Amino acid sequence: MKAPHRTLLVAVALLLAGTSPGHGQAMDEYDAPTTVTIDSLSELYEPVIFSHVRHTKLARCKDCHHHTTGHQDMNPNCVRCHLHSPESQTVSCKDCHTRQQFYPEQVSELGNPNIYHIDKPGLKGAYHLNCIPCHVEKNAPSHCEGCHAMTDAGREFFRLTDKTPGTAKDKDSRVR
Amino acid sequence: MKKLINRRRFLQGSLVASAAAAFPLAKNTAAANFEGYPDSMGVLVDLSRCVGCRSCEAACNKEQNLPAPEKPFNDFSVFDELSHGQKRRTDETRYTVVNRHDIPGLKHPLFRKIQCNHCLEPACLTSCFVNAYTKTPEGAVIYDASVCVGCRTCMIACPFNIPAFRYSSAFDPKIMKCIFCYDTRLVKGLPPACVEACPQEVMTFGRRTDLLEMGRQRIRENPDAYVDHIYGENEAGGTAWMYLSPVPFEQVEFNTAVPKEPILNYVKDFLSIVPMVLTIWPALFTGIHLLATKKEKMEQQKKSEGSES
């Protein structure tokens, strides 16, 4: 009579553990999607089809996702609060880094003395600030159109449509 | 006897006038403590983030309806352009430019964006005798081109060489410069076009007081990545646009000789006595002259009267 009860309890405990991982449990690459289409910002450039699976071979989760995947970030500034942070409810970039940046609501929110992250980049800033240094270091494409092709709106914006394009010699060849 | 009373009255009157003139003078000195409008906006530019993509230049061109550039905005040969030995500067067709600076000992070049720094106490505003310039409570330094007479004094007054003159138009000469996207964006609380266009978030838009805090936090948390100075916190009495740099500012061709107090302070003492000199001195000295020569005149008159009789 007591035995089935115990197995039920164990099963329930396992179920609970599965849905809400506690301390020490972290996501790994198999929990991630194969590709992510980054299109929420595409206007001057085409969307980016981001091969997540390829990037998991080249970088650690925390290199992009900070503490949110449950891997503790060893940056001493972050460790002050996130030493034991578990996996977050969301790991998607756009859920923390906003598409619109420096809009009146965000500017006035900075008056709140309880906010620590007063200097969090917007979505566009977060992508470029995180991707480019690594691309430069690993000799991956680091010029604009190496990751996203320019749209017609982009060509108009950069005034490529006015007349014959300028000397293409030095175009997009800078190194950082 | 009557004459003496007149002179005394006259001197008393001039004393009262001098005191009246001295009163606004005292008021002007109090303005030396002006630290900018509270909650005025600014931009913090982080030179360590800029990759020289020139998106800000393109965004400015579009937002301000400026003429088409000679080369498109993704042509990076412009970084090699020199005019009279100087790197590119702002002019009537571009309110902002990005220049490349090769730093010895650094693996990659640094890029520096130039535009109006929107001083808290602008020298251009002070120098303008038709009052074309206004410092708005939001933080922008704007100007009214319709009253500009094209004297170009502001171009000399600006410690950052920003105001540009429209030399191309002989009949409608006017000063042109960055206005912080005042009318189209800043009044609505929106960031300027260049800030929004930047992929690297080189520029952070916010209240100037918040930006100073952010700047100090970046320096504190990454002491090796920045020099411990926010350019524009005190330069020229403080500017709305401020800079962080990974190398000493003079290496990126910032003018580090700009004084820490407003340019205005250097000329204020002189300027404040100009109205007094112009209004009171002529009256005072004419009066003294008339009084001093009255006796002679009367004597002359007496003489001529005597000779007649």
Residue A25 has pLDDT above 90, yes or no: no
Work out the pLDDT band at A175, boundaries 50, 70, 90: very low
Residue A4 has pLDDT above 60, yes or no: no
Q: What share of chain B is helix, strand, coil (3-state, %, to 5)?
A: 40, 15, 45
3-state secondary structure chain B: CHHHHHHHHHHHHHHHHHHHHHHHHHHHHHHHHCCCCCCCEEEEEECCCCCCCCHHHHHHHHHCCCCCCCCCCCCHHHHHCCECCECCCCECCECCEEEEECCCCCCCCEEEEECCCCECCCHHHHHCCCCCEEECCCCCEEECCCCCCCCCHHHHHCCCCCCEECCCCCCCCCEECCCCCCCCCHHHCCCCHHHHHCCCCCEEEEEHHHHHHHHHHHHHHCCCCCCCCCECCCHHHCECEEEECCCCHHHHCCCCCCCCCCCHHHHHHHHHHHHHHHHHHHHHHHHHHHHHHHHHHHHHHHHHHHHHC
Query: Mind listing the pLDDT tens digit for each residue in B120-139?
Result: 999 999 889 889 999 999 99
**CA angle, residues B143, B149, B150, in degrees to nearest 5:** 85
- Asked whether the beta carbons of B197 and B62 are under 8 A apart, the reply is no
Query: Mind listing the pLDDT tens digit for each residue in B141-160?
Result: 999 988 888 888 999 999 99
Please report the pLDDT score of residue A174 as a whole number: 42
Please report the pLDDT score of residue B265 as a whole number: 82
- The whole-angstrom separation of Cα A39 and Cα A93 is 12
Give the best residue of A101, A148, A158 to mutate against chain B (max B CB count within 10 A). Answer: A158
Where in the sequence is the domain holding B291, given as residue range(s)? 2-31+266-308
Number of structural domains in chain B: 2
- The whole-angstrom separation of Cα A71 and Cα A66 is 8
Shared domain for B43 and B21, answered yes or no, is no
Number of structural domains in chain A: 1
Contact B51 A176 (CB under 8 A): yes
Of A118, A128, A168, the CB nearest to B199: A128
Find, in chain B, the residue whose alpha carbon is nearest to that of A166.
Answer: B71
Please report the pLDDT score of residue A111 as a whole number: 82
A vs B, Cβ pairs < 8 A, gives 110
Please report the pLDDT score of residue B308 as a whole number: 63
| Mean residue pLDDT across chain B | 87
Contact B190 A103 (CB under 8 A): yes
Give the best residue of B75, B107, B208 to mutate against chain A (max A CB count within 10 A). Answer: B75
Work out the pLDDT band at B5, boundaries 50, 70, 90: low
Of A103, A104, A158, the CB nearest to B74: A158
Query: Mind listing the pLDDT tens digit for each residue in B166-201?
Result: 888 777 778 899 999 999 999 999 999 999 999 999
Query: Mind listing the pLDDT tens digit for each residue in A148-159?
Result: 999 999 999 999
Query: How is residue B81 written in tokens?
Result: 């352009």
For residue B265, which amino acid is it?
Answer: N
- The whole-angstrom separation of Cα B39 and Cα B59 is 26
Closest CA to A166 of B73, B49, B266: B73
| Mean residue pLDDT across chain A | 81
Shared domain for B165 and B123, answered yes or no, is yes
Give the best residue of A41, A43, A107 to mutate against chain B (max B CB count within 10 A). Answer: A107
Give the best residue of B49, B201, B217 to mutate against chain A (max A CB count within 10 A). Answer: B201
Residue A23 has pLDDT above 70, yes or no: no
Contact A167 B75 (CB under 8 A): yes
Shared domain for B135 and B283, answered yes or no, is no
Of B69, B73, B200, the CB nearest to A129: B200
Query: Mind listing the pLDDT tens digit for each residue in B35-62?
Result: 778 889 999 999 999 999 999 999 999 9
Closest CA to B159 of B258, B35, B267: B258
Work out the pLDDT band at B1, boundaries 50, 70, 90: very low
Residue A164 has pLDDT above 70, yes or no: no
* B246-272 average pLDDT score: 88
Interface contact A79, partner B, CB < 8 A = no
Min Cα distance B203 → chain A (Å) is 10
Question: Which residues in B lie closer than 8 A to residue A80 (C-beta atoms)?
Answer: none
Shared domain for B240 and B293, answered yes or no, is no
Residue B12 has pLDDT above 80, yes or no: no
Of A107, A132, A176, the CB nearest to B206: A107
Question: Which residues in A lie closer than 8 A to residue B79 (C-beta atoms)?
Answer: 170, 174
Shared domain for B152 and B194, answered yes or no, is yes
Angle subtended by helix axes B264-308 and B2-30, to nearest 10: 170
Give the best residue of B48, B63, B76, B102 to mutate against chain A (max A CB count within 10 A). Answer: B76
Of A102, A111, A169, the CB nearest to B191: A102
Q: Pick the range with the lowest mean pLDDT from A58-72, B29-43, B215-229.
A: B29-43
Find, in chain B, the residue whose alpha carbon is nearest to that of A41.
Answer: B199
Residue B22 has pLDDT above 60, yes or no: no
Min Cα distance B237 → chain A (Å) is 24
Contact B75 A170 (CB under 8 A): yes
- Asked whether the beta carbons of B180 and B193 are under 8 A apart, the reply is no
C-alpha distances out from residue A17 to A6, A12, A21, B189, Å:
16, 8, 5, 47
Question: Which residues in B lie closer than 8 A to residue A124 (C-beta atoms)?
Answer: 199, 201
The percentage of chain B sitting over the pLDDT mark of 90, rounded to a whole number, equals: 62
Contact A166 B72 (CB under 8 A): yes
Q: Is residue A75 part of a domain?
A: yes
Q: Is residue A84 part of a domain?
A: yes
Interface contact A125, partner B, CB < 8 A = yes
Shared domain for B8 and B142, answered yes or no, is no
Shared domain for B7 and B21, answered yes or no, is yes
Please report the pLDDT score of residue B168 as a whole number: 80
Query: Mind listing the pLDDT tens digit for each residue in B60-103?
Result: 999 999 999 999 999 999 999 998 889 999 999 999 999 999 99
Residue A6 has pLDDT above 80, yes or no: no
Q: Pick the range with the lowest mean pLDDT from A108-117, A166-175, B75-84, B299-308.
A: A166-175
Work out the pLDDT band at B21, boundaries 50, 70, 90: low
- The whole-angstrom separation of Cα B142 and Cα B195 is 18
* A67-94 average pLDDT score: 86
Question: Which residues in A lie closer than 8 A to residue B51 (C-beta atoms)?
Answer: 132, 174, 176
Min Cα distance B158 → chain A (Å) is 29
Please report the pLDDT score of residue B25 as a whole number: 47
Q: Is residue A30 part of a domain?
A: yes
Question: Would you give the distance in Å from CA A80 to the centre of its chain?
Answer: 22
Interface contact A38, partner B, CB < 8 A = no
Listed in sequence order, the residues at least 6 apart from B37 whose beta carbon sits closer than 8 Å to its beta carbon are B135, B137, B138, B139
Min Cα distance B110 → chain A (Å) is 9
Please report the pLDDT score of residue B47 as a whole number: 97
Shared domain for B63 and B192, answered yes or no, is yes
Of B109, B189, B199, the CB nearest to A107: B189
Shared domain for B83 and B189, answered yes or no, is yes
Shared domain for B24 and B140, answered yes or no, is no
Please report the pLDDT score of residue B6 as a whole number: 61
Count CB neighbours of B208 within 10 A.
27
The percentage of chain B sitting over the pLDDT mark of 70, rounded to a whole number, equals: 88
Shared domain for B107 and B153, answered yes or no, is yes
Query: Mind listing the pLDDT tens digit for each residue in A30-55?
Result: 778 899 999 989 999 999 999 999 99
Q: Pick the range with the lowest mean pLDDT from B55-59, B226-230, B265-269.
A: B265-269
- What ipTM does this complex have? 0.77
Shared domain for B134 and B270, answered yes or no, is no
Sign of CA dihedral A92, A95, A100, A101: negative
Residue B243 has pLDDT above 50, yes or no: yes
Listed in sequence order, the residues at least 6 apart from B284 whose beta carbon sits closer than 8 Å to its beta carbon are B14
Work out the pLDDT band at B16, boundaries 50, 70, 90: low
Where in the sequence is the domain holding A116, given as residue range(s)? 23-161
Q: Which domain CATH number covers A57?
A: 3.90.10.10
Q: Is residue A12 part of a domain?
A: no
Query: How is residue A109 written in tokens?
Result: 């929110």
Please report the pLDDT score of residue B9 as a whole number: 64
- The whole-angstrom separation of Cα B184 and Cα B164 is 21
